[in-house]
Amino acid sequence: MIKTDILIIGAGPTGLFTVFEAGLLKLKCHLIDALPQAGGQCSEIYPKKPIYDIPAYPEILAGDLTEKLLEQCKQFEPGFTLGERAETIEKQEDGSFIVTTNRGTKHQAPVVAIAGGLGSFEPRKPLIDNILSFEDKGVEYIIKNPEIYRNKRVVIAGGGDSALDWSIFLSDVAKEVTLIHRRNEFRGHLDSVEKVQELKNKGKINLVTPAEVMNIVGHHKVEAVVVSQSQHIEKEFEIECDHFIPLFGLSPKLGPIANWGLEIEKNAIKVNNALDYQTNIPGIFAIGDVNTYPGKLKLILCGFHEATLMCQAAYQIINPGKKYVLKYTTVSGIDGFDGTRKEAPKAVVKAIE
Ligand X SMILES: Cc1cc2nc3c(=O)[nH]c(=O)nc-3n(C[C@H](O)[C@H](O)[C@H](O)COP(=O)(O)OP(=O)(O)OC[C@H]3O[C@@H](n4cnc5c(N)ncnc54)[C@H](O)[C@@H]3O)c2cc1C
116 interacts with, out of other proteins, ligand X, none, CB within 5 to 8 A per kind: ligand X
The verdict on 288 binding ligand X (CB under 6 A) reads yes
Of residues 33 and 165, the one with the C-beta less far from ligand X: 33
Q: How far apart are the first and last CA of the chain?
A: 65
Q: Which of 28, 152, 182, 200 binds other proteins (CB under 8 A)?
A: 182
Of residues 60 and 199, the one with the C-beta less far from ligand X: 60
Are 288 and 306 a contacting pair, CB within 8 Å? Answer: yes
CB of 153 to other proteins, least distance (A): 23
Residue of 1, 17, 258 whose CA lies nearest to 109: 1
Residue 46 counted as an annotated binding residue: yes
User: DSSP letters along 170-186, please?
Assistant: HTTTSSEEEEE-SSS--
| Element holding 312 (H helix, E strand) | helix 300-318
| Element holding 13 (H helix, E strand) | helix 13-24
In the bound state, the residue with its beta carbon closest to ligand X is 117
Residue 330 counted as an annotated binding residue: yes
Residue 324 counted as an annotated binding residue: no
CB of 187 to other proteins, least distance (A): 4
One character per residue 117-136, x = contact with ligand X (rule: CB under 6 A): xxxxx---------------
Q: Who contacts 150 (Cβ-Cβ below 8 Å, separation ≥6)? A: 173, 174
Residue 165 counted as an annotated binding residue: no
Phi-psi region of 148 (alpha: psi -120 to 50; beta: other; left: phi over 0): alpha
CA distance 8 to 29: 7
| Element holding 65 (H helix, E strand) | helix 62-73
The verdict on 18 binding ligand X (CB under 6 A) reads no
DSSP code of residue 302: H
Of residues 169 and 248, the one with the C-beta less far from other proteins: 248
Residue 75 counted as an annotated binding residue: no
Cα distances (Å, whole numbers) of residue 53 to 41, 50, 185, 287, 294: 16, 10, 34, 19, 22
The verdict on 78 binding ligand X (CB under 6 A) reads no
The verdict on 181 binding other proteins (CB under 8 A) reads yes
DSSP code of residue 258: G
DSSP code of residue 245: E
Of residues 161 and 240, the one with the C-beta less far from other proteins: 161
CB of 159 to other proteins, least distance (A): 5
φ, ψ at 126 (rounded to 5°):
-65, 155
Q: Up-side HSE of residue 152: CA atoms within 13 Å toward CB? A: 18
Q: Which of 20, 21, 23, 33 binds ligand X (CB under 6 A)?
A: 33
Residue 33 counted as an annotated binding residue: yes
One character per residue 228-267, x = contact with other proteins (rule: CB under 8 A): --------------------xx-xx-x-----------xx
Are 178 and 239 a contacting pair, CB within 8 Å? Answer: yes
Beta bridge partners of 55: none
181 interacts with, out of ligand X, other proteins, none, CB within 5 to 8 A per kind: other proteins
The gap from C-alpha 43 to its chain's centroid, in whole angstroms, comes to 8
One character per residue 279-318, x = contact with other proteins (rule: CB under 8 A): ----------------------------------------
Chain residues that interact with other proteins, rule: CB under 8 A: 45-46, 49, 118-119, 124, 126-127, 158-160, 181-183, 185-187, 248-249, 251-252, 254, 266-268
Q: Which residues bind ligand X (CB under 6 A)?
A: 9-15, 32-35, 40-42, 45-46, 51, 53, 85-86, 115-121, 255-257, 288-290, 298-301, 303
Binding-site positions for FAD read 14, 33, 41, 46, 86, 121, 289, 330
